[in-house]
Amino acid sequence: MQKMFYPKSVMVCGVSSSPDNLGRSTVENLERFGFPGSVYLVSREGGDLNGRKIYQHIEDIEVVPELAVLLIPAKAIPDALERCGRKGIPRAIIQSAGFSEFTEGGRQLEENLLNISRRWNIRFMGPNCIGAVNLDNGLVLPFFPIYPEAMKKGPVSIISQSGGLIIDVMRLLILENIGFNKAISIGNKLDLNECDYLEFLISDPQTHCIAIYLENFADGRRLMALARQTEKPVVVLKANRFSSSHQIARFHTTALAGDDDVADAALKQAGIHRVDTLMEMADTLKIFSLSLMKGKKVGVICRSGGQAVTVADAVYRHGFTLAGFSDRVFDHVRKEIRAGVIRMTNPLDLGDVFDIRFYEEIIERVLQEPDVDGVVFGHTYTHDAAIPPTQGLIRATGRLSQQYGKPVVFFLVAGREHFFALRETHAFPIFADPEQAVQALAVSRRHHDHQSLRTATQPLPSGRVKPVGKAPLTPSFMSPEASFHLLRSNGLPVADFSVVTSLREACDAAEQIGYPVALKIASPEILHKTEIRGVHLNLKNRPALTAAFRAMNTGRVLVQKMSAPGREVMIGGRQDREFGPVILFGLGGIFVEVIRDVAMRICPIDHEEAVRMIEDTKGFRILQGFRKQPPADLKALNTCLVKVSRILVEHPEVQNLDINPMLIFDEGQGCIVVDVKIQIDGI
């Protein structure tokens, strides 16, 4: 993969000297950026471009290029790829469009390409992409003109499923003074996909942060595993949030865990920063140029009272608190300024101090405070003479942030005339307003927290756990007794039960289980039992049982021990197309059904993850003990979640699982499954 971005020689197919030839731009880009390797031009027509020979056939080239770039009509691609294979070229970038993104015929063409590439052992990028830009070595392959002076090298590398959008991302990162190192347009990701590129970028010493734009996941679990194994921040804009039609689902788990909800949970669980917008992506990447925010306490220094108030608001909004400043800070402020127009508080409003160099000293004092985990500095200037000292301050702030290992977030509304001069003073990010500044600290802190979790969490098993790919054609329901057996054999507490077909059996079963009992229709097809009078609860004796049994008028009936009252929860699970087994948890009743208060994780989960999952729900307060109720048995609940997660991993045939309700008793009293529905793969 390294050679894909650092080839010693490149062949570009589809070049002519015609002014509107696209391949020509690629060759000229390579020239402009001083790509040091050899470049070979190929086109049926031959001829030359700017004095360079254009070969008529791939076979004519004297050497074996390390990388082929193909920009010829889609239908000519298979033949070209075949020739590359014969020539021994090991890797290619197929830029041409007109494949599966467009027609069914295109899909056929793709099958073809895959076969050819496998036969010749060629790995390729695309099709339907603009290729790669590597500012590290001048490998600039897009088929439109790019100029070095418009680019800026930086710590971020980009992977994008959209070729158009990658231009926007590059431009935005440059506007924001971040820049980028490599930009990879992955197109239809027919062979190499986002995970392959991510794996490469994780190992690439030039890449410090990774930005990814995706419209679907090629391999969700591998993406998670890769992101978990690196300290490099991974920021993902996953679009297509609303594409999946909202099917009416008979399972809570399916209704509650839409594809995008699963993606949300999975990315979070892997410590990936999900963003919704390009701007948010740029803002998120900016903060990683600074030391991480390791705690919750913020020191705020501003140049106007309005800034101070709005920063304080943002500090609380993002879950931070204002640090206490010691007299060391205040004494220094007092020493240097004229009498008493500054209030000695955090936020410190230094509006009356006009010596910009003094700010550097104050920022340093605040960074020295042990109580301060990070600093927000709000700057304002009123005249042009303030620009050079402001630039000095920006540089100093960058240095101090590094020196003290704490982030200093600098925000400033620059005037139009100094806009770029101020932004580009230094490789140190400038934020535009208090919200952006504090939001960035929150991202930094989230990344820090994830780093400490990362090592503690068990890895995702690969191998046997695989995304299902497609929904089964003929799903079927397990019988109630089989469902209960599956849970029980996996160590889950289920209410005593028996399946009977006659009144006599029902009475015997009830005697054995012990009254009171419940009767439920045991037909797996009938899901909404209560609505068709298929359930009779709290039957205290034989006459009650008899009456109920007769009323049901059905063949198979479940006799079940009535449980003592407890708090109702639901545990669900399903196989997701992109991420495999997923587990859900929520409180019963309105929590799940009205306010959709559900926590979700990709399986397997361990005990720590189960604890976080329970705590993620609003209903957690009810379980903790609400209105003098004692706390519920959270330990028992926790164990059940881990066990259900194991069932989902070990039984990929389980398509949907819905434990609803499970009753949780008070602390130390355990819990019990009262009802369960399981849908499995049909045959």
Residue 341 found at the interface with its own copies (CB under 8 A) = yes
Beta carbon of residue 460, minimum distance to its own copies (angstroms, whole number):
27
Stretch that binds its own copies, among 76-84, 140-148, 190-198, 460-468 (CB under 8 A): 140-148
Q: Please give the Cα distance from 656 to 676 (Å, whole number).
A: 10
Residue 19 found at the interface with its own copies (CB under 8 A) = no
Beta carbon of residue 546, minimum distance to its own copies (angstroms, whole number):
28
Stretch that binds its own copies, among 40-48, 428-436, 497-505, 533-541 (CB under 8 A): 428-436
Beta carbon of residue 55, minimum distance to its own copies (angstroms, whole number):
27
What are the structure tokens assigned to 636, written together?
């028992």
Residue of 15, 133, 237, 592 that binds its own copies (CB under 8 A): 237
Cis peptide before 604 (omega within 30 of 0): yes
Q: Identify residues 187-216 at the interface with its own copies (CB under 8 A).
A: 213, 215
Residue of 60, 114, 403, 420 that binds its own copies (CB under 8 A): 420
The partner residues of 601 in beta bridges, in order of sequence, read 583
Residue 44 found at the interface with its own copies (CB under 8 A) = no
What are the structure tokens assigned to 600, written together?
């979700």
Question: How many residues bind its own copies, per CB under 8 A?
Answer: 81
Closer to its own copies by CB, 303 or 574: give it: 303
Closer to its own copies by CB, 441 or 603: give it: 441
> For 394-541, where are the E strands, in sequence order?
408-412, 430-431, 476-477, 497-500, 517-521, 535-539
Closer to its own copies by CB, 489 or 530: give it: 530
Residue 312 found at the interface with its own copies (CB under 8 A) = yes
Closer to its own copies by CB, 230 or 345: give it: 345
Closer to its own copies by CB, 8 or 343: give it: 343
Cis peptide before 516 (omega within 30 of 0): yes
Long-range contacts formed by 595-601: CB under 8 A, 24+ apart: 596/256, 598/256, 598/257, 600/256, 600/257, 600/261, 600/262, 600/264, 600/265, 601/265, 601/269, 601/645
Q: Identify residues 511-540 at the interface with its own copies (CB under 8 A).
A: 531
Stretch that binds its own copies, among 131-139, 159-167, 389-397, 488-496 (CB under 8 A): 159-167
Burial 275-291 (b: 16+ CB within 10 A, else e): beebebbbbbbbbbbbb
Residue of 61, 72, 109, 167 that binds its own copies (CB under 8 A): 167
Residue of 137, 368, 380, 546 that binds its own copies (CB under 8 A): 380
> For 36-149, where are the E strands, in sequence order?
38-42, 48-49, 52-55, 67-70, 91-94, 123-125, 131-134, 139-140
Closer to its own copies by CB, 277 or 553: give it: 277
Closer to its own copies by CB, 265 or 603: give it: 265
Q: What angle do CA 154, 159, 162 make, to 5 degrees?
A: 125
- Of 348, 349, 317, 269, whose CA–CA distance to 441 is shortest? 317
Beta carbon of residue 435, minimum distance to its own copies (angstroms, whole number):
4
Find all residues with CB under 8 Å of 369, minimum gap 6, and list them: 299, 323, 325, 326, 328, 329
Beta carbon of residue 583, minimum distance to its own copies (angstroms, whole number):
23
Residue 165 found at the interface with its own copies (CB under 8 A) = yes
β pairing state of 91-94 and 38-42: unpaired
Ramachandran class of 533: left when φ > 0, alpha when ψ lies in -120 to 50, beta otherwise: left
Residue 413 found at the interface with its own copies (CB under 8 A) = yes
Residue of 50, 203, 240, 502 that binds its own copies (CB under 8 A): 240
Beta carbon of residue 505, minimum distance to its own copies (angstroms, whole number):
32
Q: Identify residues 453-512 at the interface with its own copies (CB under 8 A).
A: none
The dihedral formed by the CA atoms of 537, 540, 546 and 548, expressed in degrees to the nearest 10: -20
CA distances from 632 to 566, 585, 588, 614 (A): 9, 15, 14, 12
Closer to its own copies by CB, 11 or 174: give it: 174
- Of 203, 56, 223, 193, whose CA–CA distance to 129 is shortest? 193
Instruction: Check if the beta carbon of residue 159 is closer than 8 Å to that of residue 204.
Output: no
CA-based torsion, 537, 538, 544, 549: positive or negative: positive
- Of 337, 347, 264, whose CA–CA distance to 298 is shortest? 347
Beta carbon of residue 320, minimum distance to its own copies (angstroms, whole number):
11
Stretch that binds its own copies, among 53-61, 199-207, 431-439, 452-460 (CB under 8 A): 431-439
Q: Identify residues 286-305 at the interface with its own copies (CB under 8 A).
A: 302-305
The partner residues of 42 in beta bridges, in order of sequence, read 13, 55
Residue of 43, 160, 193, 679 that binds its own copies (CB under 8 A): 160
Instruction: Check if the beta carbon of residue 591 is closer than 8 Å to that of residue 617.
Output: yes
Beta carbon of residue 255, minimum distance to its own copies (angstroms, whole number):
15
- Of 123, 118, 97, 88, whose CA–CA distance to 4 is shortest? 123
Beta carbon of residue 97, minimum distance to its own copies (angstroms, whole number):
7
Residue 615 found at the interface with its own copies (CB under 8 A) = no
Residue 351 found at the interface with its own copies (CB under 8 A) = yes
Residue 277 found at the interface with its own copies (CB under 8 A) = yes
Beta carbon of residue 162, minimum distance to its own copies (angstroms, whole number):
2
The pattern of x and - marking residues 574 through 613 that bind its own copies according to CB under 8 A reads ----------------xx-xxx-x----------------
Closer to its own copies by CB, 120 or 251: give it: 251
CA distances from 413 to 109, 279, 359, 434, 436 (A): 52, 17, 17, 10, 12
Token pair 């929590």 in the structure block, residue? 591
Q: Identify residues 78-117 at the interface with its own copies (CB under 8 A).
A: 97-98, 101-102
Beta carbon of residue 283, minimum distance to its own copies (angstroms, whole number):
10
Q: Please give the Cα distance from 26 to 320 (Å, whole number).
A: 49
Q: How many alpha carbons fall within 13 Å on the CB side of residue 486?
A: 23
Beta carbon of residue 142, minimum distance to its own copies (angstroms, whole number):
8
Beta carbon of residue 254, minimum distance to its own copies (angstroms, whole number):
19
Q: Is 213 helix (H, G, I), strand (E, B) or coil?
A: strand
Closer to its own copies by CB, 162 or 253: give it: 162
